[in-house]
Amino acid sequence: MKKPPQPMKAVVVSEPRICDINDIEALAYEAEMEYVRKEPKVKYILCTPLDDVRIGDSVDLVYNVNMRSYQHKYASRSNNTNTIGGFYYTNGRPA
């Protein structure tokens, strides 16, 4: 039986930007990986435009086997900083 991937911790060191990762252009930022038995190392982390990434934040990551890179563990959530126009109920009232 296959074990689920273990999340890793990292500290964000740069803002997201388009990067060349394994010969593919993708939105990513640099973060310092916190290994258990190795020295910390800065790597690119895949993200989406909806991800709230601030320099100095601690993030949880999992390894994406297909892209051969790390990405966020949790799905992105919309909030006031990554949406334009605010939140509204289906009847048009502001939330």
CA nearest to 44, candidates 31, 34, 59, 56: 31
**Contact status, residue 88 vs residue 78, Cβ threshold 8 Å:** no
95 pLDDT above the threshold of 90: no
Average pLDDT over residues 21-48: 87
**Average pLDDT in the 22-46 region?**
88
Distance of CA 59 to the CA centre of its chain: 7
Q: What is the pTM of this model?
A: 0.68
Torsion sign (Cα): 49, 50, 54, 55? negative
pLDDT digits (tens, 9 = 90+) for 38-53: 898 999 988 887 777 8
CB atoms within 10 A of CB 31: 27
> What's the average model confidence in pLDDT over 9-28?
88
Both tokens of residue 50? 């909806």
